[in-house]
Structure 1
Amino acid sequence: MKLKRMGNQTVVFSNPSVILSSYSVVGPMEGQGPLSKTFNAVWKDTINGNSSWEVAESKMLEEAMEGAINQARIAKDEIDYLLAGDLLNQIISANYAARTMGLPFIGLYGACSTMALSMSVGTMLIDGGFARQVLVGVSSHHDTAERQYRMPTEQGGQRAMSAQWTVTGAGSLVLGESGEGPRITAATIGRIVDFGEKDANNMGAAMAPAVADTILNHLHDMNRTPDDYDLIISGDLGSVGLSLSQEVLKKNGLTFNNFSDCGVLIYDKKQDVHAGASGCGCSAVVFAGHILDKIKSGEYKRVLLVGSGALHSPTSSLQGESIPGIGHAVVIEG
């Protein structure tokens, strides 16, 4: 069997998956940001008539996945696998959404890198001949994440300036073995990088070295330079993490102007989110709308999306453990 690996960490697909459709649902704060017109649906409030924030997040993910299937104009029983994940313990948002969807389900956890990870694994299933169509979806919710990782928002605790605002949003894609649309042509699976950061209010610093490591390894494996991409965009480093990642890359001889971050783009500076955005839903909704629109229009011909994740838990943080970082990258071409 001929290996499809390129270098140490990268897979180049013989049969790239096609992004047949996308759908994004966001909360009111995201709908007030600069990318508001690129989202498919904006909720008026963060609970949307549900009994809890957690139930609302699961329903938001369901809405995004149903929307992606409808946009693809295929029947639900034509989906071979559902790949989904979120930030909550035991990925409960994805689990309960999958219960409703009734599809063969593979739950994934990569923290905020889950969208890129899902796109990678979904394309591997298609390229390997194990699936025809794969549905991927991820979600996050500001209030569910705050309640799990930090403290209830009702307490009104002071947020550190390095803190990021968890996006309330869900994004979904239908990937197919054939059809019209942008293609996922390669993926670089990241490795854990941990520089000892322990501050859960500074996740950008924890994730930055991992993102830089994945970019460096991707370019080395593919024998490419940053100029081979119209855009290299990280998932949710925020302003602090983006700056630190640029420093790491510069020390390794790389400086480039086409490097951005979904967590920097989704909110306006006037919205007072401090260091920007985070959450599984961050890169999911920015990619499903803003970035895909530019690929489809021809403005971007090749994009490297690097999902970034802080793989800690409330328990590990309370026990004084450092925060492991991960970065998974996918190449999308128009």
Structure 2
Amino acid sequence: IEYIFGGDLLNQIIATGFAARDIGAPFFGLYGACSVMSEALSLGAMAVDGGFADKVVCIASSHFSTAERQFRFPLELGNQRPVTSQWTVTGAGVSILSSQGNGPYISHVTTGKIIDKGIIDPNNMGAAMAPAACDTILAHFRESGLKVNDYDYIATGDLGVIGSEILIDMCKKEGLDISKRHTDCGVLIFDNKKQDTHSGGSGCGCSAVVFNGYLHYLLENKEINRILLIATGALHSTTSAQQGESIPCIAHAVTISNNLGGEL
């Protein structure tokens, strides 16, 4: 392993930093909030494709209660969660990118821009992050020349139920209908009917677990051929939340395909 790219939601990304300390490989610590998995895959793919490494690790993790304590309310109070809220996933996922192998391959990277629509409610992350996801998805299709139907899944990171509905509506207003191809890791990670997770899951580990554990399995077994993974992140902090600042958000997209070039 020549580089590790990764991060988490703990202050100063200490979970990833402490893990990298034990491994001893060169380390790039990333903070893109819940967009870390796609950010790590993007930078790792650039490093390998540019000839700077032959094998890199991309990792993201998150932990229930940590984000709640930093941004929302003391869990000890037992506050009732609003229906827009999501449950931070306790989990980690890792991808190893190599200059050699039989795929799946990363073929496209679309780097997101900071989008802030003035949302201040930390219990409504889906509404805050959906505009960033929309901006990146529109940029991806505009710049890549690919079409919605070229993908089996257009998978956002953790918009949840409410954020996913907002994203689909926003894309439709821009002339792009992703409704038949869209799915969301925050919706897939839990059984909402049985577990009552309100709007679904969130956290860096959400897209990391669903992509590395489920979507990659479908790719590897040729059940699907191409996905667009758009991990979404809310770039606020404890300080900015206490000051009543709005929530700047970002989304990074990567295309993962069974065929590096040509039609599938």
1:126 aligns with 2:52: no
Q: Alignment partner of 1:111: what SS?
A: coil
Q: Which residue of 2 aligns with 1:331?
A: 255
1:302 aligns with 2:229: no
1:206-262, Cα deviation, whole Å (9 max, x unpaired): 000000110000000011220111110000000111000111101001113011100
CA contact (8 A) 1:88 1:148 kept: no
Partners of 1:247 and 1:181 in 2: CA distance = 34
Q: Alignment partner of 1:142: what SS?
A: coil
Q: Which residue of 2 aligns with 1:234?
A: 156
CA contact (8 A) 1:139 1:168 kept: yes
The 5 A counterparts of 1:178-197 are 178-197=100-119
Shift of 1:91: 0.8
1:258 aligns with 2:181: yes
Percent of aligned positions with the same letter in both sequences?
54
Partners of 1:261 and 1:286 in 2: CA distance = 9
Q: Alignment partner of 1:303: what SS?
A: strand
Runs of 4+ in 1 over 6 A off after TM superposition: none
The number of residues matched between the two structures is 256
Partners of 1:192 and 1:132 in 2: CA distance = 31
The 5 A counterparts of 1:1-334 are 79-256=1-178, 257-269=180-192, 270-334=194-258
Unpaired runs of 5+ residues, structure 1, are 1-78
Partners of 1:244 and 1:308 in 2: CA distance = 14
Partners of 2:257 and 2:83 in 1: CA distance = 36
Partners of 1:180 and 1:127 in 2: CA distance = 15
Unpaired runs of 5+ residues, structure 2, are 259-264
TM-score w.r.t. length of structure 1: 0.75
Q: Which amino acid aligns with 1:226?
A: V
Shift of 1:125: 0.5
Partners of 1:280 and 1:294 in 2: CA distance = 21
Partners of 1:198 and 1:146 in 2: CA distance = 15
Shift of 1:181: 2.7
